Structure 1
Amino acid sequence: MKAEINIEEVKANAVHSELLKAMCLINQARNIVSGAMDEKELRDVGQWDCLDETVTKLNECTCDIGYIIGVTVIGRVELMMR
């Protein structure tokens, strides 16, 4: 185990950038769908429940990706500490 931790190295190498990008895009999609829920046209055609379910699924995806990022960060930090 390393005696000293280089925080800058950890910050630069710990996060999986593609998964982080995916999480940001999922959040962006969720915000778009959530915003669409307020549109009268979509409410009038009875699609509010479908949109609500879509927002829920996107939230679940965000949680899943966040978990994977966390596990990946832990693994990468452990490797850097050897």
Structure 2
Amino acid sequence: MTEPTENPGEVQPVVEWPESPGTNAAEADGRGVWINDPGVAALLGRLDGLPGLPVADHNAVYTEVHDALLEALNEDTGSRTGEA
């Protein structure tokens, strides 16, 4: 059986967060992919606050970003018929 930690408040996990894609549309993300849409870049910028939030709040942030990205994807861009 393992021994319990005497001072559990002193032991904190070290989380290595990946770099955020940022809010700059000309900024490459960690995979070298450029975010050309400033709206998408701004939405992904909302993820910057995750490291400072309790894990219990992460789901709400991910859900908000997901819904906003889905809404942006489904927006009518006004492209002409036949254009891709």
| TM-score normalised per structure 1 | 0.40
**Greater RCO, CA 8 A, separation 6+:** 1
The structure carrying a bigger helix percent of its residues is 1
